[in-house]
A and B are shown apart, each in its own frame.
Chain A
C-alpha cells in the first residue's frame, strides 16, 4: 500500500485538478525569500507590474527608456514583488491510523498520506517550501517531494502519534493531519509553541465511519491497534451513546484549542471522496490571506 512510486502518482492525480496553490503569507517581515509569489505590490520579481512616473528621489538607472521615449515624461518600470512561503506539514503515521472498518475502505493513514502529499505537490508546484514534521526541514523543488514521499511511507509503531513541527519556522503555515483520538496534551503543547512563533495553520481530523457510528454489539474486548490499550464490555451496544458523547466532546475540545490559537479545524471521513477533502484543504491554506 505504501509503495513510494504509487503513492506519488496517485497524489499527483488528486492534485492535478487544482492550479498551483499559492499559499498566503501573513507576515512578510522576517521570512521573505524571493519566489514566484505575487504580492500585488511593486517589488523585486520577474512579472511586469506597472509603469510609474519618475518622482523625486528615483535613480536615473531605473528609468525605462523605451516607454519614456514615447512622450515627454520619464517612466519607471516596476515589477511585482514575489516571495516564497514555508509550509510545515505533519502527518500522523501511528498505528491507530492503520484502521479501516471494512475491506472496501482505505485506512486512515492511507488517506492522510495521500492528502498530505497532494497538498505538498501543490505547494511545491507553486514554488513554496515544504517541511515534513521534524525530519525534513523546509525546502523547495522536486527533490523535496521525493524525500517527503519516502518519509510518508514509513509506519510508526506507537498507538497514537504526537504532532511535531520542530523547526517551527517563524511566521510559516502548518498543516497537521491526524485522527486526534489519542491524548491531546502533546498537541496542546505544540500549539502553544507554534502560536508563540506566529505560525498559523490547520488541524485536519480523519476518522473512519465506524469510529463515528460505533456499530458494535454483544460481549466485546476492544483493543487499540498496537494492542497497548484494552477495554472489555459485556454489552457493546449499551456503550454507544456514551462513546458518541465522548467523541463529540473530543471534537469540541479540538475546536476550542484551534480557535484559541487562531487555527482552523477540518474533519474528513475515509468513506468520503478525497477530492472534496483536498478542496477544503486548498481553501484552508488560501484562507489565511
Chain B
C-alpha cells in the first residue's frame, strides 16, 4: 500500500529502470525518408550531404514512447485506488442510529452497510449493541451474529430522536453513530456522553433530505412549501396530491412541479384545484421520496363547506347593517363558500349547511325537499326573529324543521317597556359542542323566542342564558341535524353576532371551517382520536389502536411515540399533525469540534490498471500518427480523417446553399414587374440601356395597366435573373464571354419563360445575316444558349397586336430585320381567320439591330437622351419605338392572349351567319 494507492504486483515496477536503455535504443533508429515531388530536383542533382548522420528522432517523440512504455509497466503492476481499508479497535461496540424520517429514504442502504460493518466487528470478536435513538431502550452487548439477526426489526420512526432519555450501557465501549444529518436537540450532549466512554465515530450519508410543510389554502390556490436540507443545484420536485376518486379508490388527483433554485433550500408548489377536487385531497407527497417528511396530511383546513344563506325578507329594503344575513356573511366569508338564491334552486346544489334567518313558513313543496335534504345529512341552522316569533310554527306540535316547540310571541327583557336586565350567557355544558369556549361577558340578550317546556328540551339545549332559558337548541333529524338560535342573526335581539364568540360557535358547529390551526386554548377540553398515523417511511397505518390525544397538546407537544404524526378526529372535525409544522426549518447536524463525520459508504476500491493500459495504447497510437507525420505519409490518413470530421459541417453548408440570403432588392424586384438590362462592361452603353429601361417603364406606367418599378441593371455572373420578365441585352464587341455558370443561369431563365431582347445596334450598316462585327459577337455569345429555331417576325405575329397595332418595330433605326422564335411548321391559316393559330407561349428571344435603347432612353426628368431622325418624323419614330416596347412587354406578360382575343369578332361573325 502506498497511501490510498496500492499495487497488486509491485515488483513489476522495477521494469521502470529499463526505460533509459530503451531511450538509447530508440535514438539509434533514424526516421523513414519522405518522398517529395519537386520540379527543382534538376538543380539539386550532384549535391552531396555535409554530414552522413541522419536526422535524429525528435526528443518529443522519444518522450512520447517513454511515457507509453512507462504507462504500460505501471498498468501491468495492477494499481488500485482506495484499497479496502479495515476497521480497527477492540472491545464492546455500541451502534447508535438516528433512525428518523431523515434516514428513511436510504434506510435499506444504511442497514446493508451497517450489516457489513457488524460482520466486520464480529470477525474481530467484538460484542455489539444497536440502539435506535427514536426508540431508546436499555441494551446489552451481544455477539455480532445475534445482533445482525435483529437488524431487520429496526425501522425509522416518524418522530425526532429522543436524545435526553438515552440509557447508556455500563462500562467502556466504542460508539458508531449513524446520523441522519439533521439537527436535533441534545445531539451535542449525547456526543459528549458517548465520547467519555470511548471512541466516537460518526457516519453520515451525503443524501440531501427533502420535506413537505403543511399545505395552505388561500383564494382558490393551494400552496405546498417544499424544503431541503442543504443548497444544491437546481432541482425540480414533483409533488402529488393524493385522495379518493369519485369511486372511492385512492389515486393521484393532481400533481405539479416545485423547483428548487440553484443554491436555494426552499421551493413552493402552487396548485389551482377546483373545490370538488380540493375537498377530496387527503395528503400531498413528494414523488419518489420514502420518508415521513415527504408526506403532509391535509385536514378540514383545506376544505370549505358550502353554506346557503336564506333570508326571510327578501323583498325588504333595509340597509346592510340591519340585514339578518350581514353578520353571518361577515363571519362565514373567509372560511366558507357561500351560496345565494331561492331555496328551490339551492337544495339541488346540495350544500353542506343551509341557514334560514328568520324564516317562518316554507311552501309545502320546499319544506318537503328541505326535510329530505336534512334527513340525508344536511345541517339546517335557523335563526329566530320577529317573523318566527309572530308565526304559529311549531306551536302545537313539534316541527321536524325546528328542534323545539316554541311559545307564542317570544319574550323581551331589559328593554324600556320590560322588567329585568338583559340576560347574559351561562357557561356551556360539558356535553355541548361549545364546551371549553370562554363565555364572553359582553354578550347580552334582550329578546328571544322561548321554547315550550318539554321532556326532551334539556337534551336539546346546547347553550343557555344565565336564567336557564335556551339560547341554542339542536336535534338530530335523520342523518342530519337542525339547530335553532333563539335570537336573530343581526344585532336586533342580542349582541351575540357582534362578538367573537359568534364566530367560534359557528366553527364549533362546523358551519365554518378552520383556516388556521386552532390554538391550544381553543382545543382545551377536546379529545382527538388518531385515525391514520405515519410511520418513518411515510406510510399511513390505522391509528384505531392508539390512545386519544388531548386537544391542548395536539399541536404543541413534540412528536413522539405517544403523539405520532397523522390524522386525528374530533367531534365533527379532523385535524392533522404533520412531521413538520408551517415554520419548520431544516438545519444540518452540528457536531462538536472533535468529532468529524465520515461517509458511511467508503469509496469503492478502483483498479486503475485498465486505465493505464488504455493510456499506453492511446500514446502508442499518437506515436504512430506522429511517426507517419514525420515520414510525410500522414496526408492520406489525415485527409480521410478530415473528410470524416467534415461530414457534418458540409451538411450544414449544403443547407445554407439551399436557402441563399434574400436581399431587399430581390424582394422588391420579385414583388413588382421590373425591367432589367444586362451589364456589358461598357459604362456608357450600360447607362444608356438603363435609361432606356427607365423610359420604357415610364411609358408602360403612363399608358397601360402594367406599372413597373424602377428598372435594374443585372450582372449575369452574380445576380439572380428569375425576377425579371424581360432582359435587354445590347451587344458590344467588348463584351466578355460569360462563364459556364452564367450560361447555365441564362438557359434556366429562358426555359422558365423569360425573354431576352438582343440588340446589335447596327441596323444602319448591316443586315443581320451579314457578318457585321456585333453580329459576330452576338453569334459567339449566343452559341451556348438554348434558343429554338428563329424566323423573321411574320406579319401575323402576336407582337404586331399585343397592345398597339404595329407593322414596324423601329428603334433608332428602322430595319424590318427582327427575328423571333419560328412558328411551328404545321401552323396554317384557317380560311376567314386573319391570323394563323400560332405557337403558345412567349418567344424566348427577340433579336434585332434597331438600337432601341437610344430611342427609349430618358433622363431622370423624362427628357429623351438621344435624338432620333429629324424633326417630327423622328419623334414619330420614337413614338413607334415606345409602342414596340409596350407590345413587347405585353407579349411577355400575357403570352398569346391577344392572339386568342382577336379571334372573337371573327367567331361572332361566323356565328351570326
Binding site for B on A (CB under 8 A): 5-6, 8-10, 12-13, 16, 96-97, 99, 108, 142, 160, 179, 181-183, 208, 210-211, 214, 216-225, 229-235, 238-239, 242-243, 246-247, 250
Contact = CB atoms under 8 A, between A and B. Distances in A.
B42 A243 contact: no
16 contacts: A6-B740, A9-B739, A99-B39, A160-B42, A208-B39, A216-B38, A218-B630, A224-B38, A225-B39, A231-B41, A231-B44, A235-B49, A238-B49, A238-B51, A243-B47, A247-B40
Interface of B: 30-45, 47, 49-55, 630, 681, 734, 736-740, 776, 780
Q: Choose among A9, A182, A210, A217 the residue with the greatest number of B CB atoms under 10 Å from its CB.
A: A9
Given A96-B39, A183-B42, A218-B630, 18 more contacts: A6-B740, A8-B737, A9-B736, A10-B739, A12-B736, A13-B739, A181-B40, A208-B39, A210-B38, A211-B39, A222-B40, A223-B36, A229-B41, A234-B54, A238-B50, A239-B44, A243-B47, A246-B44
A238 B737 CA distance: 50
A27 B740 CA distance: 41
A183 B521 CA distance: 120
Contact of B44 (A10, A99, A108, A243): A243
B41 A230 contact: yes
A220 B780 contact: no
A181 B42 contact: yes
Contacts of A108: 39
Given A99-B37, A219-B33, A235-B49, A5 B740 contact: yes
Contacts of B51: 234-235, 238
A92 to B, nearest CB: 11
Q: Which 5 A-B pairs have the closest CB atoms?
A: A96-B39, A219-B33, A246-B43, A222-B41, A231-B44
B33 A220 contact: yes
A63 to B, nearest CB: 28
Given A16-B681, A229-B45, A220 B737 contact: no
A229 B639 CA distance: 28
B360 to A, nearest CB: 107
A242 B49 CA distance: 11
A247 B47 CA distance: 13
Contact of A221 (B36, B47, B52, B54): B36
A234 B41 contact: no
Contacts of A218: 31, 33-34, 55, 630
Contact of B36 (A97, A216, A229): A216
Nearest to B55: A218
Contacts of A9: 736-740
B36 A234 contact: no
A131 B739 CA distance: 26
Q: Choose among B30, B33, B38 the residue with the greatest number of A CB atoms under 10 Å from its CB.
A: B38
Nearest to B54: A234
A233 B630 contact: no
A236 B616 CA distance: 33
Given A219-B31, A222-B36, A233 B49 contact: yes
A27 B795 CA distance: 58
Given A16-B736, A243-B44, A219 B36 contact: no
Contacts of B47: 231, 233, 239, 242-243
A244 to B, nearest CB: 9
Contacts of B780: 142
Given A8-B737, A243-B40, A231 B45 contact: yes
Given A6-B739, A16-B736, A223 B49 contact: no
B44 to A, nearest CB: 5
A114 B555 CA distance: 99
Contact of B55 (A219, A232, A246): A219
Contact of A225 (B31, B37, B734, B776): B37
B746 to A, nearest CB: 13
Contacts of A233: 44, 47, 49
Nearest to A237: B55
Nearest to B779: A142
Q: Choose among A12, A97, A222, A231 the residue with the greatest number of B CB atoms under 10 Å from its CB.
A: A222
A252 B69 CA distance: 55
Contact of A12 (B30, B31, B737): B737
Contact of A179 (B39, B41, B44, B740): B39
B43 A181 contact: yes
B444 to A, nearest CB: 107
A243 B45 CA distance: 10
A250 B44 CA distance: 12
Contacts of A160: 42
A222 B38 contact: yes
B79 to A, nearest CB: 39
Given A6-B740, A142-B780, A234-B55, A219 B42 contact: no
Contacts of B739: 6, 9-10, 13
B818 to A, nearest CB: 26
Contacts of A214: 40
B41 A224 contact: yes
A227 to B, nearest CB: 8
A127 to B, nearest CB: 12
A101 to B, nearest CB: 9
A200 B739 CA distance: 35
A94 to B, nearest CB: 9
Contacts of A13: 736, 739
Contacts of B776: 142
B58 to A, nearest CB: 10
A223 B34 CA distance: 11
Contacts of A96: 39
A214 B30 CA distance: 23
B681 A235 contact: no
Contacts of A235: 49-51, 54-55
A164 B143 CA distance: 111
A183 B738 CA distance: 40
B847 to A, nearest CB: 20
Contacts of A242: 47
Contact of A247 (B35, B43, B740): B43
Contact of A223 (B31, B38, B630, B734): B38
A221 B54 CA distance: 13
Contacts of A234: 49, 51-55
A211 B42 contact: no
Given A8-B737, A9-B737, A219 B43 contact: no
B743 to A, nearest CB: 9
Contacts of A231: 41, 44-45, 47
Nearest to B50: A238
A218 B630 CA distance: 9
A229 B38 CA distance: 10
B733 to A, nearest CB: 8
Nearest to A3: B740
A264 to B, nearest CB: 23
Contacts of B31: 218-219
Nearest to A247: B43
B737 A224 contact: no
A217 B42 CA distance: 18
Contacts of A243: 40, 43-44, 47
Nearest to B41: A222
B42 A223 contact: no
Contacts of B53: 234
B731 to A, nearest CB: 15
Nearest to A212: B40
B43 A250 contact: yes
Nearest to A211: B40
Contacts of A208: 39
Nearest to A220: B34
B117 to A, nearest CB: 64
B329 to A, nearest CB: 89
A278 B767 CA distance: 37
A234 B51 CA distance: 8
B771 to A, nearest CB: 11
B781 to A, nearest CB: 11
A96 B45 CA distance: 16
